[in-house]
Amino acid sequence: MVGALYAAEDTPPDVLLEVAREFSPRLEVCGPREIVLDLAGLARLFGNAHTIAAELRRTAADRELRVRVAIAGTRTAARVLVHHYAGITVVDPGEEAAALSPLPLALLAAASSAPNSQFPTPDGLLTTLRQWGLRTLGEFAALPPDEVAARLGQEGVVWQRLASGEDPRPLLPAVPEERFEQTFDLEWPIDGLEPLSFVLGRLMEPLSEHLERRDRGAAVLHVRLHLVKTDGVTPTVHERSLQLPTPIRDARTLRTLALLDLESHPPSAAIDRVVVAVDPTPGRVIQFSLLTRPLPSPEQVSTLLARLAALMGEGRCGSPVAVDSWQPGAFGMKPFAPRDSNVLHPPWPVEAEVVANPAIALRRFRFPVPARVRVDAGKPARVTTDRPGLGGGRVEACGGPWRTSGGWWSSSDDDLRVSASPRPVGVTGVPWDRDEWDVTLNDGATYRVFRERDADHWLVEGIVD
């Protein structure tokens, strides 16, 4: 047994929804003024269908709402009836086709109007049916289905079933939007992260269970700390939001991430209320491989990165990125998120797994070290620095100069000014113009030194290692 509620005038949608929810949790919103609800089993509580319909109208009237009510065996019949008849309409199960038979064809549009309807508006169909001389739903339903299919296609048959009150699909209950939030009011304000960790743990566990029940994970974690009023008047809220790289619902991981973030951004006063909320997202489906070593789970990686960021500082942990620049030492950083490998199709040929002659590497000074270089016959003859531990000495062999320049086209006049202090490498967009030399000193080490041509400074860029 299905009931349809139709508000006679424009009303706030929540009011009609509240009325419907008082009778059944299984309901489908068909528009701003129309709701269909499953009334199965309510007869034992209220009595027959007429009593239920009357009770529905009375409940709506209590909220100053005038509604039409139709109860029938099918959803389609109830919807068509509620659009046509005012007041209460009750049709016994099995009598839907007879009840709809005298109604005008235009009501087919009412049966198809829903937010998730799979049928288009039947304007063209109605015109065709009227040209055939049909006026009522009963006349359309009485046509032979095979003839309808031959002339209107399969869609015409579906409309014919609607005209006889049959449902094209079962009722799709609207699931109320769930809030994944936990709150804890403290009797005494707490100060410091250690006591807060216990509170967070107590909040995260039910939140994690709730997420697990609904097969959801947290996409964003919100922590709201209501602080004590420092001036006695103004309440303060310390709010942090953590974008999680992957859906997470493990309580310990969520608590650790929240605490690590609060270590970096501590609240300014004692806390008297803690609210934890998450933005839910569907859970992950993981397929492990028998052929490759498993990578750490996203939860482990997130926790590790948060711990490392708290220890080393923001932006100092991640994957290096080679940037599209000729600038020496230019690089970028991005979050560490290793992709799954595919052993069957590795990114490199298998035979390239070992090499005979590896490429030599440079150990680069992020801030080049100022050096004093004595030049004889156009070549460096002696290199010395003031850096303790970084020796200097006579040049045994050298190669160069390798001249490079760039960045002058995209910089302002301020950037072009000659700077006395060494500029950090790795920052793109900074102009450079220099001559590079590879030099082996008498201490046995090989360095890369360069002369800034605009300032005539010598600097040590790195050590060949």
Partner 1 sequence: MPRPAVAILEAALRARKLDRTLTTALPSLERTDPSALVSTGVAALDACLRGGVPRGQLSEIAGPRSSGRMTLLLQLIAAAARRGEIAALVDTFDRFDVASACAAGVDLDRLLWIRGQAITRPQGSGLRPQGGHGPASLLERTVDRALKALNLVLQAGGFGVVAIDLADVPLVALKVIPFITWLRVQRTVEGSDTACVLVVPEPLARSAGGVTLTLGAAPQWAGSSDRSRRLAGLDLTTRVVSPRRRVQGEVVIKAQSSRLKAQDSTIGPWALSLVP
The nearest distance, CB 457 to partner 1, in angstroms, is: 15
Per-residue mark of binding to partner 1, 257-276 (x: CB under 8 A): --------------------
* Residue 444 beta carbon to partner 1: minimum distance, rounded to whole angstroms: 7
Residue 444, interface with partner 1 (CB under 8 A)? yes
Interface with partner 1 in residues 344-383 (CB under 8 A): 346-348, 352-367, 379
C-alpha span between 253 and 123 (Å, rounded): 56
**Tokens 């007879």 — which residue?**
98
Neighbouring C-beta atoms of residue 39, cutoff 10 Å = 22
| Candidate residues 398, 449, 459, 460; the one interacting with partner 1 per rule CB under 8 A | 398
**Contact between 286 and partner 1 per CB under 8 A:** no
121 is a site residue for partner 1 (CB under 8 A): no
The tokens describing 279, both together, are 């933005």
Q: Does residue 252 sit in helix, strand or coil?
A: helix
Q: Does 400 bind partner 1 (CB under 8 A)?
A: yes
Question: Which residue, 121 or 411, has its beta carbon nearer to partner 1?
Answer: 411
Q: Which is nearer to partner 1, 169 or 293 (CB)?
A: 293
Long-range contacts, 231-236 (Cβ 8 Å, 24+): 236/268, 236/269
Amino acid letter, residue 454? D
Amino acid identity for residue 156 in this structure: G
Please pick, from the candidates 40, 45, 98, 311, the single residue that binds partner 1 as defined by CB under 8 A.
311
| Dihedral (CA of 388, 394, 397, 402) sign | positive
Of residues 127, 241, 264, 292, which one binds partner 1 by CB under 8 A? 292
Residue 454 interacting with partner 1 (CB under 8 A): no
Would you count residue 399 as binding partner 1 (CB under 8 A)? yes
3 touches 36 (CB < 8 A) = yes
Q: Whole-angstrom Cα distance, residue 342 to residue 331? A: 27
Rank residues 64 and 376 by Cβ distance to partner 1 and give the closer one: 376
Residues 51-110 that bind partner 1 (CB under 8 A): none
Q: How far is CA 251 from CA 23, 165, 198, 225, 240, in A?
A: 36, 50, 12, 18, 17
- Which residue in the block uniquely carries the two structure tokens 């590795």? 346
Please choose, out of 23-31, 47-55, 237-245, 300-308, the segment that lies near partner 1 by the rule CB under 8 A.
300-308
Residues 407-436, interacting with partner 1 (CB under 8 A): 424, 435-436
Strand duo 67-72 + 88-90: pairing: parallel
